[in-house]
């Protein structure tokens, strides 16, 4: 197996960042679960759904960055593989959200590069702290993402089955990632860390809805 140098890893990280941030650079490996007949949405409804999907797209950008950062610094090979596999599944979510935004004549958040950088740094630090904390960070992240998704599902217009199907599949995947991380040895994070993660998540949610 090839041994990658530090330069190789930096180039790979830059490539991963571009794929996560440049619209159209990521393709889903699974079929879009929102492949149902489109329902007519009013102007205000479409604008609201676009805001929700923009938040969820930013959340997936953050998830990509977290996994990329953790995979870069994880110590055990099996943990690194878990991070890389989860990142691949999250790429589907990224592509699905982007597709839905296009259908709603909207665009991803302009703040995504900021969220990616912050999340990559947090993921890398979690990996340095140790694999059990890295896995615990994944579990807590996915738990919070699931709560956001469930809240957004409840806010969708009743007729918007297209968005609902996408978010429901995303929620199922996030909970699976959480359980996988816990089963692999993840530990509960200290309360101050969880509070900080929640605060950053709320900031991202409130700004990405509009910008």
3-state DSSP helix/strand/coil percent for the chain, to nearest 5?
Answer: 75, 0, 25
Tokens matching residue 37 = 């007949």
60: annotated binding-site residue? Answer: yes
161: annotated binding-site residue? Answer: no
148: annotated binding-site residue? Answer: no
> Is the Cα dihedral 59, 60, 64, 70 positive or negative?
positive
The DSSP letter of residue 76 is S
93: annotated binding-site residue? Answer: yes
89: annotated binding-site residue? Answer: no
> Is the Cα dihedral 96, 97, 98, 100 positive or negative?
positive
45: annotated binding-site residue? Answer: no
**Measured distance CA(149)–CA(52) in Å, rounded:** 9
Annotated binding-site residues for Fe cation read 60, 90, 93, 142, 174, 177
Q: Which residues belong to the annotated binding site?
A: 60, 90, 93, 142, 174, 177
């Amino acid at each position: 197996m090839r041994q990658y140098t530090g330069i190789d890893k930096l180039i790979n990280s830059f490539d991963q960042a571009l794929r996560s941030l440049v619209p159209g650079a990521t393709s889903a490996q699974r079929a879009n679960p929102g492949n149902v007949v489109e329902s007519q949405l009013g102007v205000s409804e479409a604008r609201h759904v676009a805001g929700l999907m923009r938040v969820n797209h930013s959340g997936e950008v953050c998830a990509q960055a977290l996994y990329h950062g953790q995979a870069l610094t994880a110590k055990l090979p099996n943990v690194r593989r878990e991070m890389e596999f989860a990142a691949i599944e999250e790429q589907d979510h990224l592509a699905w959200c982007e597709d839905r935004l296009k259908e709603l004549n909207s665009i991803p958040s302009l703040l995504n590069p900021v969220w990616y950088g912050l999340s990559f740094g947090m993921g890398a630090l979690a990996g340095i702290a140790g694999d059990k904390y890295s896995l615990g960070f994944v579990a807590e992240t996915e738990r919070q993402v699931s709560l956001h998704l469930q809240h957004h599902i409840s806010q969708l217009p009743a007729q918007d089955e297209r968005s609902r199907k996408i978010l429901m599949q995303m929620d199922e995947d996030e909970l699976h990632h959480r359980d996988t991380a816990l089963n692999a040895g993840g530990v509960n994070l200290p309360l101050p860390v969880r509070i900080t993660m929640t605060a950053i998540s709320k900031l991202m949610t409130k700004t990405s809805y509009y910008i």
